[in-house]
Structure 1
Amino acid sequence: MTAQGGALRYQDLRRWPAVCGILLLTVALIVTSAWRTPALSRGWLVAFAVWSCVPVGSMVLLLIHSLTGGRWGEATTAILRPSAALTSVVAIVFIPILVSYGQLYPWAQAGSPVAQDVIKWYLNWPAYVSRALLALCGWWVLGTTFALGRGRPLLAGLGLAFYGATISLVAFDWYLSVEPRYVATAFPATLAIQQLAATLAFVAVFAAPSLDESVASDIGALLLATLLGVVYLEFMTYLVAWYGDLPDKAAWYLKRSSSAWAATIIVAFVFGAVLPFCILLLRKGRRSRYGLQSAGISVLLGSVLHFCWLIVPAFDHQVLVAAAAASAFVVLSVGSILVGRVLIPEAGHVRS
């Protein structure tokens, strides 16, 4: 009786972080959905873009590992599976964006500069919601299935194809359409690789103490590859825009060329690419616990600044938007950690 009672009390204590996390996220959702000020709604979009990288990226890494195998996936199960399970929270956290879409997207406002045929056939409320629900529900199912260890290689292959199709849709719908006259065909791929980079950085920070040198080197090499992918795609996008010399593309970059935003992207490049590249390029740096964690923290900081540079300049009152984004990101992160603290100890015992 005493042992059982002690176990019961322990389980009750373990549930409290999840309860607190759910309450925190619920209050944030209600406040953001009910108090629909432009700065708060826009800040929530920026925070969502940054925060959702790890749950969605964890789902993708689980799909990839199901097809390729490898010790890196087995050693990081306790991080990737609980994070992938949070794809359900990603779908719920998107609700304030649906509610306040009219404050976020010019195509949803009266007197929109977007061509009427584009609004009629693509950029309209029913189509936007349909594509968002398709992506979010699909990711929810895939993330939950593989988080529980029930996914198989066939489903993983189909899931990766589904992810490739949906990320191409939502990358434009959710983020690029805040400035709908600017189009960059490489942006979906950039977003997808940025999600993988942020997830691998997250794994590097929290899993490094438990990794042996061989697995740590594999994680470091994967992180290095994703960093090169992001830098390459961003540079080629800029190069193509510069050579094209088109007014809409020039206007997009001009908004981000002020001294403050120029400093932001330079700092993002240094912390998100140059510094971790120098650490991870050395075999000793990849194998070192502290080297891998330092590279991970640097990449996460660079990713946050990169997303701010991409999205915030599209809006007015940028200081307020950035402040709202920082507050929303803290709330989302703390709520996720509280929920994840319950899931993480159990993930290591799940076997596919």
Structure 2
Amino acid sequence: MSGGGDRPALTTGEALKTISGRIPTVWLAVWLAAVAIGAVGFATTVGGDAQRAWMSVWSNFLFWTAISMAGIVFGAVLQVAKGHWGKSFRRLAEAAGAFLPISFALFFVLRLGAEHVFPWIGPVETEHLNRDWLTLEGVFMRNGILLAVLYLLGFVWLFYSIRADAPLVAAESRGWRKAVVSLFARGWRGDDVEVERCRSRIGRLSAVLILSWAVIFSLLSFDFGMSLTPGFMSMVWGPYYFIGGWLGLLALVAVMAHRYNGRSDGIRLWGKYDFHDLGKLTFAFVAFWTYLWFAQYLVIWYGNIPRETNFFMPRSTGGFGRMFWLQMVLIFALPFPFLLGRSPKMSSRWLAFVGLLILIGFWVERWNMVAPSIWHGEGLPLGVPEAMISIGFVGLFALAYGAYSTTFPKVPMRETIALGSPGRGP
């Protein structure tokens, strides 16, 4: 394994030392308590104000699902773009994909609250609504099948990413983790043969996975986000949604890399130049996501089409207006200048701080995607119920992420993503 320019190359033994084999008891208790808080928050809210409870579940589903799928796509993008610099961050990104089975289960749970969220179920004041496309059965059947295909494709990609390291990891594992990892190593035919086979399969799957992610998540965002404002149309809505998940994933990787660096016997997994590369990519997508938002706004503004301005009107006035500006400050106004210089991007602590701002900003942005479209009560639907339900989602994601990150090493050992020298790529 190569080094990061300012740190020595990691040995296989050092990489294996990053496998803790268990979620620390304190953190396990914290995350389980968080899930319980979320369940209590939902149960106590749904009886008295069902719309408010389901709005919170809806926005959290859109937030965490986008980040989780981007975690697997991260490695595929490195393959297609010949991104040698990011290979050492791949396992941190992949760990986010452990939430996808929970996401898939939650998708069907959303059907129970659809009547409280989808305004087009009842009469709406617009003629620009395709009721042949927007039906409850059609929306959930269509997106359920598409998500099943996408998640299956993602897990096949993840299988071959993990398989190359599986025999080494299984030898260091115990209990149920050993049984799980051993499944990835079944039928092992030798190191050289298997690594080359995994590399070949990943190479073939990566472009297909990226294209499927873009198309399917665009359709999901149309049905579960854009349709909440009947009559509203945006040609960049799909990229606006899934690129937001991608940027959130980069922010999460920055936070987790800072947390894990030097924690295992003082082993530095990433150096300042690794963080510099991650910071440059984060900076680029901060600008790109903001460009998508502005491109969407600019066309609607100069077109002055009433059926499209109905998306921005509730988000630019009153309490929702303040939340809109908060999201733009957290996602763009602060991260952009904070990451302009070279030195800040080399500091893992600083990069993690900016990443945390971006993650909070995108939670606000996903809430803004849902709540202003359907909330017609007084005041902001943002308080203790939303906080409790969101804490529950944090607990679910943290348990899934922790289960993965404590089972596998924090960095890949037998690289399968790229061939050739850094100058030539695969």
Query: TM-score w.r.t. structure 1 length?
Result: 0.86
Deviation of 1:263 (Å): 2.2
**Stretch deviating more after TM superposition (166-175 or 93-102):** 93-102
Runs of 4 or more, structure 1, over 6 Å off, are 10-16
TM-aligned CA distance change 1:266 to 1:116, over 3 Å: closer
Q: Is the 8 A contact 2:331 2:361 kept in 1?
A: yes
- The CA RMSD over aligned residues, in Å, is 3.1
Q: Tell me which residue corresponds to 2:391.
A: 330
Give the CA deviation at 1:116. Answer: 9.3
* 2:230 aligned with 1:180: yes
Distance 1:282 1:43 in 2: 37
2:406 corresponding residue in structure 1 = 345
Tell whether the 8 Å contact from 1:59 to 1:142 is kept in structure 2 after alignment: no
Alignment of 1:1-352 (within 5 A): 17=28, 21=32, 24=35, 28=39, 31=43, 37-109=50-122, 111-113=123-125, 115=127, 118-119=130-131, 121-148=132-159, 149=161, 152-208=202-258, 209=261, 210-314=269-373, 315-317=375-377, 321-323=381-383, 324-348=385-409, 351=414, 352=416
Give the letter aligned to residue 192 of structure 1. Answer: F
Counting aligned pairs with the same residue, the percent is 20
Code of the residue aligned with 1:332 in structure 2: it is F
* Matched letter for residue 130 of structure 2: V
Once the 2 structures are TM-superposed, how far is the Cα of residue 345 of structure 1 from its aligned partner?
2.4
Relative to structure 1, the CA distance from residue 80 to residue 230 in structure 2 (aligned partners, 3 Å threshold; closer, same or farther) is same
Total equivalences in the alignment: 341
Counterpart of 2:103, as a letter, is V
Q: 1:345 to 1:319 in 2, by over 3 A?
A: farther
Decide which moves more: 185-194 or 298-307.
Answer: 298-307
Question: More relative contact order in 1 or in 2 (CA 8 Å, sep 6+)?
Answer: 2
TM-score, normalization by structure 2: 0.72
Distance in structure 2 (CA, Å) of the matches to 1:266 and 1:336: 27
Using a 3 Å threshold, how does the CA distance of structure 1 residues 320 and 298 change in structure 2: closer, same or farther? Answer: closer
Q: Find the structure with the greater CA-based Rg.
A: 2
Distance 1:25 1:129, change over 3 A: farther
Cα distance in 2 between the residues matched to 1:131 and 1:292: 39
Moved more, 235-244 or 267-276: 267-276
Q: Return 300-309 or 290-299, whichever deviates more.
A: 300-309
Answer yes or no: is the 8 Å Cα contact 2:323–2:368 preserved in 1: yes
C-alpha change, 1:241 and 1:117, in structure 2 (3 Å) is: closer
SS for the counterpart of 1:346 is coil
Q: Write 1 or 2 for the structure with the bigger share of helix.
A: 1
Unpaired stretches in structure 2, ≥5 consecutive residues: 1-19, 164-200, 262-268, 417-426
Displacement of 1:13 after TM fit?
7.7
Aligned residue type for 1:197:
L
